[in-house]
Chains A and B, each alone.
Chain A
Amino acid sequence: MDKNIPQEIERFDLSARIQHIIMFTTFLILSFTGWGLKYAYVEPSSTWINIWGGPRMAGIIHRVAGITMLLDFIYHQFYLLNLARKRDLRLTIIPMPKDVVDLVHNFMYYLGLRKERPYFGKFSYLQKFDYWAVYWGMFIIGTSGFFLAFPVTVSALFPTFTLGWIWDVLFIMHSDEALLAIVFILIIHFYMEHLRSDVFPMNWLWLTGKMSVEKLKHHHPAEYDYLFGPKSKKENK
């Protein structure tokens, strides 16, 4: 291996790692307390909610966790702005037409129609999906949750013509999209970062922020080429 190429690279700085920890802690708390209310008529929801200190306390915990998550999300926007200010912001997370190509290539690889995995960049299309899903969640679940948490106050914002459905829409948005978020995380995120045979029991990156260059080369060849000189895919093999 070239001496100029390090053993590992930093993928997430300390701030990003802390943002992630706050995000998943509040996410779990919100899921646990919200689930009991969504499925109130399915036992053992009553028992479950009592573990959280009863419905009143569970409601307070849910609101505090929700606001913490929203603040974490807002902080992330400032974090990005700061990176941009330092000219340190690469747009590697933005979905590109290439992601569609990667998706097709990946399915062809799965089905044995291609020999190689797609030429993934710093973030694969699934990772981009995972990242932007948080924005979708914040927009749909975050805003509706905020409105539902302070209904008397925010009701002033609603135009009169919306009153016949706005409250039901907020509730449906919050409840259905929360289920989507939970199942999405449970399936994709847990599979990719915990259960997949090459990361089991977990991808330690969430703590160390570092990825071995070997792994980078395998999973994110385009990023490897970007960082460590132009090389053809064949040479990487």
Chain B
Amino acid sequence: MRIRQGAVVLLLSSLFLIPAADAAPDAKACLACHASMKGNIEKEKGVLVNLNVDAEKFSKSVHGSFNCVDCHLSFASQPHKGPAAPVDKAIQDLAKALSLKSKIDPVAQAACVNCHPDPYAAYKTSVHGQNVMVKKSTDGPVCTSCHGSPHYIQARPSTESKVYLYNIIVTCGTCHEEKFMSEKYGFSPLVMERYLESFHGRKLKLGHTGAPSCAKCHGSHGILSAKDPKSPVNVANKKATCGQPKCHPGATDKFVAAITHKPLHPVAHFTEIALIILTVGTFMFIIIHVLLDIFADIRDRLFRKGDHHG
């Protein structure tokens, strides 16, 4: 009986947590419901939205001290009444430009630029940004595609960050490993594989702090197609990019030909096959030879006493 009374008191007191409609609600208020929601809702056809936010993970993210409405500037549908102030025109336009790619809350996606204007300025001119915003293609990332949900975002040095030195390979690979992408945009179909087996990839895996992963050479927010003369990995700029003082000072044109991420040239391919045949052939020969020698040794010791040499 006492327990039930206590529960009622708790429930009633929780009503005081629900703020008045015109005051900016803080994250706690939203999370009272949004931290314990299960399943997805269908916003429009084919767009499933998970409305739940892991409150603990959110509080530990770099955005943990934010209020929800700092980014969720308006709500498209009831039951919520949006923040009182109307959404800035620039944000609304950007939201529209991103809406093809960011279907859940394009306004919140656009709101990133309020605090991160520089990455946005670079993104606008990048091959990614141009593809999404100008060419209206879905083949390009928006902020959250690479950085993950802003609710759980971690600073780049954190191993949990999606753009952390080691994790960025997987993040870029999400799209750059896709066959249709490489065919459509003309990059090597083996970009990731060839990177991973290169000295750079291997050294990075072993924890070499100087080994570059994708963004170190290709750039990040302002990334350009390698065919673009302004790209750091364009033929014209590769020497300067590879030749940075901490990497390969004095890099020459012939040296920078080493890293292309392209599939193996037939010469290299057949060299590899020839060497594999040689290696396997030698293995077979020496293993058979050693085994026969062991058997002969045992045979001599057992049956040809005096013939062996101990």
Contact B257 A164 (CB under 8 A): yes
> B210 touches which one: A45, A46, A56, A109 (CB < 8 A)?
A56
Q: Given the complex, which residues of B lie within 8 Å of A198, measured CB to CB?
A: 308-310
Contact B267 A110 (CB under 8 A): no
Q: Given the complex, which residues of B lie within 8 Å of A109, measured CB to CB?
A: 296
Nearest CB of A to B201, in Å: 8
6 chain-A/chain-B pairs, Cβ below 8 angstroms: A45-B205, A54-B208, A152-B248, A165-B268, A184-B282, A188-B286
Contact A152 B296 (CB under 8 A): no
Chain B interface main SS type: helix
Interface presence of A9 (CB below 8 A): no
Given contacts A36-B206, A110-B295, A176-B276, contact A168 B265 (CB under 8 A): yes
Total B residues in contact with A, Cβ cutoff 8 Å? 49
Interface presence of A183 (CB below 8 A): yes
Contact B265 A165 (CB under 8 A): yes
Given contacts A56-B208, A151-B248, A198-B309, contact A180 B254 (CB under 8 A): no
> A172 touches which one: B271, B287, B297, B299 (CB < 8 A)?
B271
Contact A155 B255 (CB under 8 A): yes
Interface presence of B283 (CB below 8 A): yes
Contact A168 B254 (CB under 8 A): no
Given contacts A55-B206, A160-B254, contact A169 B268 (CB under 8 A): yes
Q: Given the complex, which residues of B lie within 8 Å of A156, measured CB to CB?
A: 252, 254
Q: Given the complex, which residues of A lie within 8 Å of B268, measured CB to CB?
A: 165, 168-169, 172
Interface presence of A29 (CB below 8 A): no
Q: Given the complex, which residues of B lie within 8 Å of A158, measured CB to CB?
A: 254
Nearest CB of A to B243, in Å: 8
Which residue from chain B places its CB closest to the CB of A162 in the assembled complex? Answer: B267
Which residue from chain A places its CB closest to the CB of B297 in the assembled complex? Answer: A197
Which residue from chain A places its CB closest to the CB of B290 in the assembled complex? Answer: A191
Q: Give Cα A111–Cα B299 distance, bound, in whole angstroms.
A: 10
Interface presence of B135 (CB below 8 A): no
Nearest CB of A to B253, in Å: 8
> A45 touches which one: B206, B272, B290, B299 (CB < 8 A)?
B206
Contact B254 A196 (CB under 8 A): no
Which of A45, A49, A152, A191 gathers the greatest number of chain B CB atoms within 10 Å?
A152
Interface presence of A104 (CB below 8 A): no
Interface presence of A22 (CB below 8 A): no
Nearest CB of A to B12, in Å: 56
Complex interface bits, B231-263 against A, C-beta within 8 A gives 1, otherwise 0 = 000000000000000001111101101110000
Which residues does A use to contact B, with CB under 8 Å? 36-37, 40-41, 45-46, 49-50, 54-56, 58-59, 107, 109-112, 126, 151-152, 155-156, 158, 160, 163-169, 171-173, 176-177, 179-180, 183-184, 187-188, 191, 196-198, 214-215, 218-219
B263-300 interface (Cβ within 8 A of A)? 264-268, 271-272, 275-276, 278-279, 282-283, 286-287, 289-290, 292-293, 295-297, 299
> A167 touches which one: B258, B287, B308 (CB < 8 A)?
B258
Given contacts A168-B265, A198-B309, contact A110 B205 (CB under 8 A): no
Given contacts A165-B268, A172-B272, A196-B297, contact A126 B279 (CB under 8 A): no
Q: Given the complex, which residues of A lie within 8 Å of B258, measured CB to CB?
A: 151, 155, 167
Nearest CB of A to B58, in Å: 32
Contact A152 B271 (CB under 8 A): no
Q: Given the complex, which residues of B lie within 8 Å of A172, measured CB to CB?
A: 268, 271-272, 275
Which residue from chain B places its CB closest to the CB of A219 in the assembled complex? Answer: B309
Q: Give Cα A163–Cα B203 distance, bound, in whole angstroms.
A: 23
Interface presence of B79 (CB below 8 A): no
Q: Give Cα A56–Cα B264 distance, bound, in whole angstroms.
A: 27
Q: Give Cα A177–Cα B275 distance, bound, in whole angstroms.
A: 7
Q: Give Cα A112–Cα B302 distance, bound, in whole angstroms.
A: 14
Q: Give Cα A163–Cα B256 distance, bound, in whole angstroms.
A: 9
Given contacts A36-B206, A45-B206, contact A184 B286 (CB under 8 A): yes
Contact B290 A188 (CB under 8 A): yes
Given A155-B258, A173-B275, 4 other A-B residues pairs in contact with their CB atoms under 8 A: A40-B202, A45-B206, A46-B207, A165-B264
Q: Give Cα A156–Cα B250 distance, bound, in whole angstroms.
A: 11
Q: Give Cα A227–Cα B155 distance, bound, in whole angstroms.
A: 77
Q: Given the complex, which residues of B lie within 8 Å of A183, measured CB to CB?
A: 279, 283
Contact A187 B290 (CB under 8 A): yes
Which residue from chain A places its CB closest to the CB of B243 in the assembled complex? Answer: A152
> B271 touches which one: A41, A126, A164, A173 (CB < 8 A)?
A173
Q: Given the complex, which residues of B lie within 8 Å of A54, measured CB to CB?
A: 206-208
Which residue from chain B places its CB closest to the CB of A176 in the assembled complex? Answer: B275
Q: Give Cα A177–Cα B268 distance, bound, in whole angstroms.
A: 14
Contact B210 A163 (CB under 8 A): no
Q: Given the complex, which residues of A lie within 8 Å of B278, measured CB to CB?
A: 180
